Amino acid sequence: QKEVEQNSGPLSVPEGAIASLNCTYSDRGSQSFFWYRQYSGKSPELIMSIYSNGDKEDGRFTAQLNKASQYVSLLIRDSQPSDSATYLCTSWGGSYIPTFGRGTSLIVHP
């Protein structure tokens, strides 16, 4: 059974702080990883993708991947109230079906 584990939260951070969202996966064959953001009542939208070990930066977002530890994280710098949402971690293990985590709720308070 392929699993992606995320702390459900909520993770509460003050505006301007760094939010750190973490995810672990069970399938060692997983090759690619995606972070989606889902606002309440809306559908998921892609934030970042990462395929290789290390860091990948895009604006205020940094994705980190450590395949040896089967660990993926998303850092959000200078967090804004508009970043308040649920963040879904997804892994692909070489099949056509991704495995989604249940998401971490992030609250950025002014």
Partner 1 sequence: GAGVSQSPSNKVTEKGKDVELRCDPISGHTALYWYRQSLGQGLEFLIYFQGNSAPDKSGLPSDRFSAERTGGSVSTLTIQRTQQEDSAVYLCASSLSSAVGQETQYFGPGTRLLVL
Report how many residues bind partner 1 under the rule CB under 8 A.
22
The residues, ordered by sequence, that sit 6+ positions from 45 with a Cβ below 8 Å of its Cβ are 36, 37, 38
Residue 55 Cβ vs partner 1, minimum distance, rounded to whole Å: 19
The closest of 8, 14, 25 to 76, measured between CA atoms, is 14
User: Scanning residues 33 to 72, which ones bind partner 1 (CB under 8 A)?
Assistant: 34, 42-46, 49, 51
1 binds partner 1 (CB under 8 A): no
In three-state secondary structure terms, 67 is: coil
Applying CB under 8 A, does 9 fall inside the site for partner 1?
A: no
Alpha-carbon span 15 to 75, nearest angstrom: 14
> In the set 32, 60, 70, 107, which binds partner 1 (CB under 8 A)?
32
Q: By CB under 8 A, is residue 82 in contact with partner 1?
A: no
Whether the CB-CB separation of 74 and 21 falls below 8 Å is answered with yes
CB of 74 closer than 8 Å to CB of 35: yes
Quick one: 35 or 108, whose CB is closer to partner 1? 35
**Residues in the site for partner 1, rule: CB under 8 A?**
31-32, 34, 42-46, 49, 51, 88, 92-98, 100-103
